[in-house]
Amino acid sequence: MSLTLHGRPSRRQWVTITAVIAVVIGGFIWAAIASLRWAETHDMVEDPISDRMMDKKSRQLQRVLDGMIARDYKKVADAAGKIETISESMEWFIADKEYDGDRTALRDSLHALQDAAAANSSEAAILSADQLVDSCMRCHDHMATDPARRSR
């Protein structure tokens, strides 16, 4: 591609220059969008294992409620035991010392719920289930305000 004698690009050269600029700008835009999409995806699946484990805990918490409504204390105790097992397998996720109180509150409420279910005590089960939900909410609130975990 050569310039004309007067130093001005020909029409064909302008079209070529414009096309090259459009491709370059389009490439930059595509790269920016691709980077943003990757970042969003990365944040959303930052820890898919813990997300799945939290889903399992939520399903077991629903089983606790279902068991309490039906006064099926075996179901309540079983679900509480499964929540405890899942929580123990997630210790790596919240291994920080600052979460010790949250883990202890969860464990204590699960043990109290299992004891209440073993005694077929509706009142104690209700109180323990309330403490269980409270411990879950406090931990999730704690995580939401922890700058290192805010994206989770």
Kindly write down the DSSP assignment for every residue of 7-45, as one continuous string. Answer: SPPPHHHHHHHHHHHHHHHHHHHHHHHHHHHHHHHHHHT
pLDDT given at position 92: 67
Half-sphere exposure of 26 (CA within 13 A, CB side): 6
Residues in the chain where the model's pLDDT stays below 50: 44-45, 150-152
Q: Which residues, 6+ apart, have CB-to-CB distance to 61 below 8 Å?
A: 79, 83, 132, 133, 136
| Closest to 61 in 3D by CA, of 148, 150, 152, 140 | 140
Q: Is 42 left (phi over 0), alpha (psi -120 to 50) or beta?
A: alpha
What pLDDT, on the 0 to 100 scale, is given for residue 41? 57
pLDDT at 48 (0 to 100): 65
pLDDT digits (tens, 9 = 90+) for 18-47: 888 888 888 778 777 776 666 555 554 456
Output the pLDDT for position 38. Answer: 61
- 100, 94, 64: which is closest to 79 by C-alpha? 64
What pTM was computed for the model? Answer: 0.64
Q: Quick one: tokens of 100?
A: 């010790």
Contact 82, 104 (CB under 8 A): no
